[in-house]
Amino acid sequence: MNFLSTFVTFENLHEVRRLCHWGPIIALSVIAICSTMAVLDSIIWYWPLDTTGGSINFIMLLNWTVLILYNYFNAMFVGPGYIPLGWKPENQQETQYLQYCRVCQGYKAPRSHHCRKCNRCVMKMDHHCPWINNCCGHLNHAYFTSFLLLAPLGCSHAAIIFIMTMYTQLYERISFGWSTVKIDMSAVRQFQPLMPFSVPAFAATLFALGLALGTTIAVGMLFFIQMKVILRNKTSIESWIEEKAKDRIQHYQTGEDFIFPYDLGSRWLNFKQVFTWSGAPKGDGLEWIVHPKCHQHTLTIEQLKQKADKRVRSVQYRAVEDYNGACCPVSKGLQTFFRTPCTEEPRIPLRKGDTILATRGTKWWMYGDKALSEEQIRAGERVRGWFPRRCVEKCHYDTAASDSTSDKKVN
Cβ atoms of 406 and 252 within 8 Å: the answer is yes
* Ranges 73-77, 107-111, 233-237, 361-365: which has the least confidence: 361-365
User: Which CATH number describes the domain made up of 314-394?
Assistant: 2.30.30.40
Going from N- to C-terminal start, the domains of the chain cover 13-80+139-232, 236-267+280-310, 314-394
For the ranges 152-166, 186-200, 255-269, 349-363, which has the lowest average pLDDT? Answer: 186-200
For residue 404, what pLDDT is reported?
Answer: 38
Cα separation, 108 vs 249, whole angstroms: 25
Residue 14: pLDDT band with limits 50, 70, 90: low
Phi/psi of residue 323, nearest 5 degrees: -145, 125
- pLDDT (tens digit per residue) in 273-297: 999 998 889 999 999 999 999 999 9
HSE at residue 210, side-chain half, CA atoms within 13 A, is 5
Evaluate if residue 410 carries a pLDDT over 50.
Answer: no
Distance of alpha carbon 47 from alpha carbon 62, whole angstroms: 15
Q: So what's the pLDDT on residue 248?
A: 80
pLDDT digits (tens, 9 = 90+) for 55-68: 999 999 999 999 99
Query: Which 3 state secondary structure label does DSSP give 360?
Result: strand
C-alpha 312/C-alpha 130 separation (Å) is 29
| Catalytic position from the list 129, 135, 155, 391 | 129
Segment among 73-82, 171-180, 342-351 with least mean pLDDT? 171-180
Spatial separation of the C-alpha atoms in residues 240 and 358, rounded to whole Å: 10
Q: What's the pLDDT score for residue 205?
A: 94
- Burial pattern 368-378, b for ≥16 Cβ within 10 A else e, equals bbbeeeeeeee
Does residue 311 have a pLDDT over 60? no
Average pLDDT, rounded, for the chain: 84
Cα–Cα dist 117/128, whole Å: 8
The mean pLDDT of 13-19, rounded to a whole number, is 78
> Across-strand partners of 113?
122
Rounded CA-CA distance 253/256 in Å is 8
Q: At residue 52, does pLDDT exceed 90? A: no
DSSP state of 44: I
Say what the pLDDT of residue 406 is: 36
- 209-252 pLDDT, tens per residue? 999 999 999 999 999 989 999 999 999 889 888 888 888 887 77
More confident residue, 266 or 184: 266
Percent of all residues in the chain with a pLDDT value above 90, rounded to a whole number: 51
* pLDDT for 407: 38
Q: Is 327 a catalytic residue?
A: no
